[in-house]
């Protein structure tokens, strides 16, 4: 019996990797330009990190984490998101002591054991950005510009829309939770079972329940923004003003609450109509209290995560991998060793060449050259070996010419093989 991959996990095959690489290189370019530095974080952390930061009454912590006890008896969890780890790394390595203002990014796999019928992956990939040390709304606006420009760099800004909201400060949130509970008090029977429970534990989540019953029941729910204190209101107004000045289109969505406990003030989502119901392709917000929750100092911060799978889906088929410039066709005494030597020489000259280690017939090797999409076939037979030459067959033009082996790289470079 074959061992198969786990449900919710997938292989990313060579036909797909060019578009992944396209995303990853755009991420590195754009983040670099905005002064963000890369942070590489462990995949496995102590379970307590996520329980404390994400919140006990969230879907992630309640039912989606890959948690197990390792042989040393420690409860460990495969990271379900990156922000908690980034804050932990920042505090643990004392980055705030050298300079509390840090802009960091990361990319890599995250793990959530979601229900498979939702068609969601249990290992998915995210790009994350965290901007530590600034309370100012200018930081929020700059991070949103970065997010917008990343999508522009990928040619996707026309296919996404930005929605923003504010959750206010802890006091605003507390008073909002009371107003929300009061407004839903008479409608408890209209809510789904999940939300009736959430009303007690995490009432904000009722607002982003996907059930039509719950959406209908909360249609007249008060907006957080309407009850926010003057400071939070001014902060949010300034973020929006700066976005307008920068020409980043956005709309306020007063129902957007985000699923995690640690957010405060600005929250945002980048949505695409091309992705169906689960249409957020990036999301984030401010989390000024998270470092304190994890035992550190007060540290204003904000960040976002974008799903690479969703970006890849939006980009569709990228260009396939380029074929090799040349395919070495060899046959006879010493020819395969010479082919290997020439391949190294071409590689040093920046040219991609391919070959078969088996000395099959010329015809079979030429067919392989064609299949691989090679521009040139480089033939090494008895005559060529004796004369120290290579027969260069231009597969596009159908012409061929004899070139001294020593001058092969230069010849190919001069004939349009260099890139």
User: Where does this chain bind Zn ion (CB under 5 A)?
Assistant: 168-169, 172, 192, 195, 209, 211, 214, 229, 232
Q: Minimal distance in Å, beta carbon 82 to Zn ion?
A: 27
Q: Minimal distance in Å, beta carbon 5 to Zn ion?
A: 33
Q: Cβ closer to Zn ion: 161 or 213?
A: 213
Q: Pairing state of beta strands 123-132 and 102-111?
A: antiparallel
Element (H, E) at 55: none
Q: Give the separation between CA 221 and CA 253, rounded to whole angstroms.
A: 13
Q: Cβ closer to Zn ion: 96 or 197?
A: 197
Q: Cβ closer to Zn ion: 164 or 417?
A: 164
Q: Minimal distance in Å, beta carbon 204 to Zn ion?
A: 12
Q: Minimal distance in Å, beta carbon 279 to Zn ion?
A: 18
CA neighbor of 26 nearest in space, from 320, 324, 306, 270: 306
Q: Minimal distance in Å, beta carbon 167 to Zn ion?
A: 9
Q: Minimal distance in Å, beta carbon 259 to Zn ion?
A: 13
Q: Cβ closer to Zn ion: 120 or 187?
A: 187
Q: Cβ closer to Zn ion: 168 or 307?
A: 168
Per-residue burial over 184-202, b = 16 or more CB atoms within 10 Å of its CB, e = otherwise:
beebeeebbeebeebbeeb
Q: Cβ closer to Zn ion: 170 or 386?
A: 170
In angstroms, the Cα distances linking 63 to 9, 66, 115, 126, 258 are 18, 9, 10, 20, 17
Q: From its phi and psi, is residue 201 left (phi > 0), alpha (psi between -120 and 50) or beta? A: alpha
Question: Is the distance from CB of 105 to CB of 127 less than 8 angstroms?
Answer: yes
Q: Minimal distance in Å, beta carbon 229 to Zn ion?
A: 3
Element (H, E) at 269: strand 264-271
Q: Cβ closer to Zn ion: 227 or 413?
A: 227
DSSP states of 142-183:
HHHHHHHHHHHHTT-GGG-EEEEEE---HHHHHHHHHHHHHH
Strand, helix or coil at 114? coil
Question: Is the distance from CB of 87 to CB of 301 less than 8 angstroms?
Answer: yes
Q: Which residues contact 21 (CB under 8 A, 6 or more apart)?
A: none
Q: Cβ closer to Zn ion: 229 or 406?
A: 229
Q: Cβ closer to Zn ion: 232 or 339?
A: 232
Q: Minimal distance in Å, beta carbon 161 to Zn ion?
A: 24
Is the dihedral angle over the CA atoms 203, 207, 212, 217 positive or is it negative?
Answer: positive
Question: Is the distance from CB of 144 to CB of 248 less than 8 angstroms?
Answer: yes
In angstroms, the Cα distances linking 368 to 216, 257, 343, 396 are 61, 56, 16, 15
Q: Minimal distance in Å, beta carbon 137 to Zn ion?
A: 13
Q: Minimal distance in Å, beta carbon 174 to Zn ion?
A: 10
Q: Give the separation between CA 276 and CA 280, rounded to whole angstroms.
A: 9
For residue 44, the Cα-to-chain-centroid distance in whole angstroms is: 18
Q: Cβ closer to Zn ion: 206 or 417?
A: 206
């Amino acid at each position: 019996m074959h061992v198969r991959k786990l449900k919710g996990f997938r292989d990313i095959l060579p036909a797909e990797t060019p578009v992944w690489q396209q995303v990853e290189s755009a991420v590195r370019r754009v983040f670099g330009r905005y002064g963000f530095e890369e942070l590489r974080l462990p995949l496995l952390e102590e379970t307590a990190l996520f329980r404390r930061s994400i919140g006990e009454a969230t879907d992630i912590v309640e039912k989606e984490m890959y948690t197990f006890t390792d042989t040393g008896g420690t409860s460990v969890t495969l990271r379900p998101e990156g922000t908690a780890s980034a804050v932990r790394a920042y505090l643990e390595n004392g980055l705030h002591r050298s300079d509390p203002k840090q802009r960091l990014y990361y990319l890599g796999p995250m793990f959530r054991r979601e229900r498979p019928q939702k068609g969601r992956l249990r290992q998915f990939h995210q790009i994350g950005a965290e901007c530590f040390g600034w309370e100012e709304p200018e930081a929020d606006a700059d991070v949103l510009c970065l997010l917008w420009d990343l999508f522009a760099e990928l040619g996707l800004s026309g296919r996404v829309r930005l929605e923003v909201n504010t959750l206010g400060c802890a006091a605003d949130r507390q008073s909002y939770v009371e107003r929300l509970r009061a407004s839903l008090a008479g409608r408890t029977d209209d809510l789904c079972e999940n939300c009736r429970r959430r009303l007690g534990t995490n009432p904000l989540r009722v607002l982003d329940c996907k059930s039509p019953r719950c959406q209908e029941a909360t249609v007249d729910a008060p907006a957080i923004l309407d009850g926010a204190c003057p400071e939070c209101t001014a902060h949010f107004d300034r973020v929006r003003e700066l976005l307008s000045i920068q020409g980043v289109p956005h709309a306020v969505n007063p129902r957007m609450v985000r699923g995690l406990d640690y957010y405060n003030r600005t929250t945002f989502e980048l949505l695409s109509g091309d992705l169906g119901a689960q249409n957020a392709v990036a999301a984030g917000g401010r989390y000024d209290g998270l470092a304190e929750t994890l035992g550190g100092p007060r540290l204003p911060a904000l960040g976002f995560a974008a799903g690479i799978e969703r970006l890849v889906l939006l980009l569709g088929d990228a260009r396939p991998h380029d074929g090799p410039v040349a395919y070495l066709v060899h046959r006879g005494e010493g020819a395969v060793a010479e082919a290997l030597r020439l391949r190294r020489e071409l590689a040093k000259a920046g040219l991609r060449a391919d070959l078969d280690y088996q000395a099959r017939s010329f015809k079979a090797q030429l067919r392989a050259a064609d299949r691989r999409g090679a521009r040139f076939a480089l033939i090494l037979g008895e005559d060529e070996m004796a004369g120290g030459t290579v027969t260069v067959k231009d597969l596009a033009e159908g012409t061929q010419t004899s070139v001294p082996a020593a001058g092969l790289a230069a010849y190919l470079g001069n004939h349009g093989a260099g890139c």
